[in-house]
Amino acid sequence: MWVVGIGVKLSHSASLMLIFSVDTSGRRGSVALVSATANSFDTLEIEALEGGSYSSRLIPELSSMLARRQLRKNDLEGFVVVSGPGSFTGLRVGLSAIKGLAEVFCRPVATVSMLEAIAARAEHRGRVVAALDAGRNEVYAGEYDLGEGAPKTIRELLLGHAEFCALLATNTVGELVTPDPGLVAHAPPYLRIRQIAWPDAGEIARLGFGKILNGEIVSPEALEANYIRRSDAEIFSNARSDS
């Protein structure tokens, strides 16, 4: 039996916890079913999802995963979801699905930033910059301190390419981690560079499970996206109000 509360650590940490993890933040998404304790972590299944199919495939994939193992949704004991940054539509689909499941089954939810998941793949210990191509000649960038545990967030920003180059120039002893090859070209030659594959839902689950263990959970009603960038609707609405 898992006892969870905001800011309260789990009891019976040696017990096995079944977790469903979701990433619908970009063009390439995934869902994963994992089992974990405080001392072990096992990825049971991962399924890739394509952007545009999230709303139609997410819950059916969960049902299929559980059915193959003769489990029910009620057997799930926690949820992990990528909260951003990324696609407005994709993030809403993933967060809405997890919000609904967590409310119905009264299970804990942990959120993970995709930039945080990227930073966790760094080989360097210390200051790390995680980056994602945000389109529109902009970059999602996060600064983290990486020690033995999970990355400690310093800040997450939306930057123009010139601002991104300036940020990298200040991190003379750090490391740039990104899945986007186009961003590597912006790095100064003295900076460590690690180009990685896009983190999957299994990796997201590992980070999220650590948060659940530490009581760093979010109530379903407080579950929101971390877009970093404002939506076009907000931008145009503010432009009209300022005119």
Domains and CATH numbers, the chain: 17-113+199-237 (3.30.420.40), 121-195 (3.30.420.40)
Helix (H, G, I), strand (E, B) or coil at 40: strand
Q: What is the DSSP letter of 3?
A: -
Instruction: State CA 99 to chain mean position distance.
Output: 15
pLDDT in tens, 83-126: 999 999 999 999 999 999 999 999 999 999 999 999 999 988 89
pTM: 0.88
**Helical ranges in 33-127 per DSSP H:** 54-68, 88-105, 114-119
**Helical ranges in the chain per DSSP H:** 54-68, 88-105, 114-119, 161-170, 181-184, 201-213, 232-242
Cα–Cα distances in angstroms (integers) from residue 103 to residues 32, 128, 219, in the given order: 20, 36, 9
C-beta separation of 35 from 18 below 8 A: yes
Give the number of C-alpha atoms closer than 13 A to the C-alpha of residue 206, restricted to the C-beta side. Answer: 19
pLDDT in tens, 157-211: 999 999 999 999 988 878 999 999 999 988 888 889 999 999 999 999 999 999 9
Total number of residues shown for the chain: 243
Instruction: State CA 239 to chain mean position distance.
Output: 31
Q: What was the pLDDT predicted at 238?
A: 41
Q: What is the DSSP letter of 66?
A: H
| Residue 11 tokens, joined | 């009891």
Distance (Å, rounded) from C-alpha 211 to C-alpha 200? 17
Distance (Å, rounded) from C-alpha 222 to C-alpha 52? 26
Q: Is the pLDDT of residue 143 over 70?
A: yes
The pLDDT confidence band at residue 14, using thresholds 50, 70 and 90, is low
